Amino acid sequence: MAKEVLLIGAGGEKMGVVPFYRAFQMAKEAGLDLVQVAGNTVPPVCKILDYGKFKYEQAKKEREARKGQHVVGIREIRLRTKIKEHDLEAKARLVERLLGEGNKVKVTVVFRGREVTHQDLGWKLIKHLAGSVKGPGAVEGPPATEGGNLVLLFSPKRETKGVKAKDAQTENPQGS
């Protein structure tokens, strides 16, 4: 507890360095609170104000700051190797819509049972999907295997760090 504080009045005017007990007394006479706004200075800075109103204003500023932020979510679309052409086109449109909303999209080709031995079908499917997705997104990197499944990630940006949709259409590094 400091003996003296730099006091700022209710109207924002500087009242100078005053003893703490006097600052507290002035706040009490005004029917307001004495709030320390900067405690790491010498002497500490205190302000006479209504603490409830102060907290409300701070919360309001935080809400306004959060309102401008957009959280990018990752949405997942799962495909099987036996998907028909029309259904694949519908999935491509869904990817475009999700990218337009500002979400990242993770496309997963799921292999079941013996399908895992025919991963070349999954690679062809991923390449076809990457080629048919047009619009507000780009492929974030080359397709990767993740737990026996094949995964491709799209981001909502126009272009990511040096990786374009054409790069995702490269040949299967494991060999077709």
pLDDT digits (tens, 9 = 90+) for 85-136: 999 999 999 999 988 888 899 999 998 888 888 888 888 998 898 888 887 7
60 and 131 assigned to the same domain: no
CA distances from 166 to 70, 87, 139 (A): 28, 23, 9
pLDDT at 17: 92
Q: Output the domain CATH number for residue 151.
A: 3.30.110.10
Angle at 34 between CA 31 and CA 38, to 5 degrees: 155
Q: Does 173 reside within a domain?
A: no
Q: Is the per-residue pLDDT at 10 higher than 90?
A: no
58 and 16 assigned to the same domain: yes
Task: Find tokens 């374009």 and name the residue.
Answer: 164
Longest dimension (CA), the chain: 84
| Residue 77 pLDDT class (50, 70, 90 cuts) | very high
For 143, the token pair is 């397709």
Q: Is the per-residue pLDDT at 163 higher than 50?
A: no
150 and 93 assigned to the same domain: yes
Q: Does 17 reside within a domain?
A: yes
89 and 112 assigned to the same domain: yes
Q: Output the domain CATH number for residue 51.
A: 3.10.20.80
80 and 161 assigned to the same domain: yes
Domain limits for position 57: 4-67
pTM, entire model: 0.52
- The total number of structural domains in the chain stands at 2
Percent of the chain residues past pLDDT 90, beyond the cut: 34
